[in-house]
Amino acid sequence: MSVKAIREALAARFGDAPAVPEDITGADLLRRIAQRGSCRSFQDRAVAPDLMDTLCAVALSSPSKSDLQQRDIVQIRDPALLAQVRGFLAPQLWTGAVPHLLIFCGNNRRQRQLHGWRGHAFANDHLDAFFNATADAAIALATFVTAAEAAGLGCCPISTVRNHAEDISALIGLPDHVFPLAGVAVGYPAADTPAISMRLPLRTTVHIDRFDDTQIQQDVADYDARRLARAPYAQQRSPERFGTAERYTWSEEKARQYALPERTGFGAFIRRIGFRLD
C-alpha cells in the first residue's frame, strides 16, 4: 500500500510521477515525505520539551559542509518573547496561533572564533562564508521538518522572519556573523494531512547529464493549466497595481510577487553583522 500511495502522491504533486519500484526500501517514510504539506492550523496542545529537544538533535544530525557545523536552532519557549516575534509575522494571519516557533540560524561566528583561539588567519572572508552557513541551516531546517512530521507533528517554514531579520535578531540575541534563515512553526495538527502542494513537472526540474530548459515555456504553461484546474488561487496579488487577470495562474502570481520590492535591506543587514559578500 505504501508504494501505491507514493505513486499517487507524486502523480498528484508533479503530474509526471516516476515508476516507483515495488521493492523500494523505506517506503513508509518515503510515503510520508511524498504526501507532506505545510501545516498552518494547530491544536491548543503543547509539544513536550523532551520531544522538541530530540527533534532538534535529529535535525542537527544532518549533513554539514566540511563538518563546519555552521547552523544553530533557537527554540522560542518564553510566551512573552513568542508573542513579540509573532507580532513581526502578523501579516501572515495564521501565525498568531502558532504554538511553537523555532528560528534556524546560519552561524559563521563559531568558525571565526576557532581561528582566533588557534591563531590562524581567516582567509575566506567572502561570499562563500555566508553561503556555506546558509546551506547548513537550510539542510538542518529541512531535516527538522521531516523528523517532526514523522513524529506526528505539523510544520510550516516561515521565511517572513527575514523581512525583520534585524529586529528578530535583537530579540533572540544573535551576535555578529549569526543570522536568522527562517522560522518553523510546529505543533500538533488541528486537521487531517494538509493538501499536497503541486509542483512543476519532474521533466522541468530533474535533468540527466546536462541542464536543459528548451521546453520550459511549454512546461510552465502546462503546469499553470493543471494547477489552475485543481487549486486556483483564492485571490490575486496586488490587483490595484497589476489589474485583474482573467486566468490567474502560478506563473502570473510568482511574477507579480517578485515585481514588488521585498527584503531590500537584507543584504545591508548581512553586511552590518560582518559578512563580506565579494
Give the contacts of 142 (CB within 8 A, at least 6 positions apart): 62
Asked if residue 182 belongs to a domain, the reply is yes
Output the pLDDT for position 161.
Answer: 97
Asked whether the beta carbons of 137 and 105 are under 8 A apart, the reply is yes
Q: How far is CA 113 from the centre of its chain?
A: 28
Asked if residue 106 belongs to a domain, the reply is yes
Helix (H) or strand (E) holding 193: none
> Which three-class secondary structure state does DSSP give residue 107?
strand
pLDDT at 231 over 80: yes
Residue given cell 503530474 in the structure block: 15
First to last CA, the chain: 51
DSSP string, 13-30: HHSS-----TT-TTHHHH
Asked if residue 229 belongs to a domain, the reply is no
Output the pLDDT for position 93.
Answer: 74
What pLDDT, in 10s, does the model give residues 50-82? 999 999 999 999 999 999 999 999 999 999 999
CA–CA distances in Å: residue 6 to residues 147, 188, 211: 18, 23, 26
Task: For the beta carbon of residue 138, count every other beta carbon within 10 angstroms.
Answer: 17
Starting at the earlier edge strand, list the strands of the sheet with 178-187.
71-76, 100-107, 178-187, 154-158
Asked whether the beta carbons of 75 and 52 are under 8 A apart, the reply is yes
225: which 3 cell numbers? 493549466
Round to whole Å and give the CA distance between 134 and 102.
16
Task: Please provide the average confidence, as pLDDT, over all residues in the chain.
Answer: 96
Output the pLDDT for position 74.
Answer: 98
Output the pLDDT for position 4.
Answer: 94
Domain of residue 130: give its range.
49-194+262-272
pLDDT at 209 over 80: yes
Residue 182, exposed/middle/buried by CB under 10 A (0-12, 13-18, 19+)? middle
Asked if residue 217 belongs to a domain, the reply is no
**Domains in the chain, number:** 1
Q: How confident is the model at residue 112 (pLDDT cuts 50, 70, 90)?
A: very high
Round to whole Å and give the CA distance between 198 and 228.
10
| The pTM of the whole model exceeds 0.75 | yes
Q: How confident is the model at residue 191 (pLDDT cuts 50, 70, 90)?
A: confident
Asked if residue 201 belongs to a domain, the reply is no
Asked if residue 32 belongs to a domain, the reply is no
Q: How confident is the model at residue 1 (pLDDT cuts 50, 70, 90)?
A: confident
What pLDDT, in 10s, does the model give residues 135-148? 999 999 999 999 99
Output the pLDDT for position 104.
Answer: 98
Output the pLDDT for position 108.
Answer: 98
DSSP string, 154-175: EEEEEGGGGGGHHHHHHHHT--
Q: How confident is the model at residue 156 (pLDDT cuts 50, 70, 90)?
A: very high
Asked if residue 158 belongs to a domain, the reply is yes
- Give me the phi and psi of 74, to 5 degrees please: -105, 110
Residue 68, exposed/middle/buried by CB under 10 A (0-12, 13-18, 19+)? middle
The CATH number assigned to the domain holding 171 equals 3.40.109.10
Output the pLDDT for position 194.
Answer: 84
Asked if residue 35 belongs to a domain, the reply is no
What pLDDT, in 10s, does the model give residues 117-135? 999 999 999 999 999 999 9
